[in-house]
Amino acid sequence: MSISDLRSGLAANLETIPGLRVYAVLPDVVNPPSAMITLDRITYNRQMKQAMSEYMFKVTVVLGRVSERVAQQNLDLLVAPSGDSVKTAIESDRTLGGSAFDVFVPELSAYGAVSINGIDYLSAEFSVQVFAS
């Protein structure tokens, strides 16, 4: 298992959301609607017997703001705890294709406007917890 394997597994799960472009590595140019996966931190040796580590990823979803109301309605659907949401997609294969012991989305950590390269978008940031060796 590698960090790239975990990131690829998260990307595969997110690609089940219709119309969402998923980037396992940070893109040079953001093309919404998109989701970007970044590693936030690693806590090593969570269980001494198995040398399990806890990987915290951030998944940032970015939507265009052509129509503020429509963008917010679409983002509301993606942050919901069920349906075609980011949480549901990420947790659809809890082993990330066999690379992890478990994965879950404990929280939505940010929701609102963000400026990327001088362009305003609507975004949501999810914390994703992955347990793997």
In order of their start, the domains of the chain are 3-132 (3.30.70.1700)
Identify the bridge partners of residue 35 per DSSP, sorted by sequence position: 22, 61
Can you tell me the distance from the alpha carbon of 83 to that of 105, in angstroms, rounded to the nearest whole number?
14
Least confident of 32-36, 45-49, 68-72, 91-95: 45-49
Can you tell me the distance from the alpha carbon of 95 to that of 40, in angstroms, rounded to the nearest whole number?
19
Residue 60 pLDDT more than 70?
Answer: yes
Backbone φ, ψ for residue 86 (5° rounding): -60, -45
Give the pTM.
0.93
Can you tell me the distance from the alpha carbon of 27 to that of 102, in angstroms, rounded to the nearest whole number?
27
pLDDT at 49: 61
Structure tokens at 86: 């980011």
Residue 46 pLDDT more than 80?
Answer: no
What residue type is 5 in one-letter code? D
pLDDT at 50: 66
pLDDT at 48: 65
Residue 2 pLDDT more than 70?
Answer: yes
Q: What is the pLDDT of residues 69-92, one digit of tens each?
A: 899 999 999 999 999 999 999 999
Per-residue pLDDT, averaged over 13-23, amounts to 97
**CA 48 to each of CA 6, 77, 101, 111, 133: distance values in angstroms, whole numbers, following the listed order:** 21, 40, 15, 36, 11
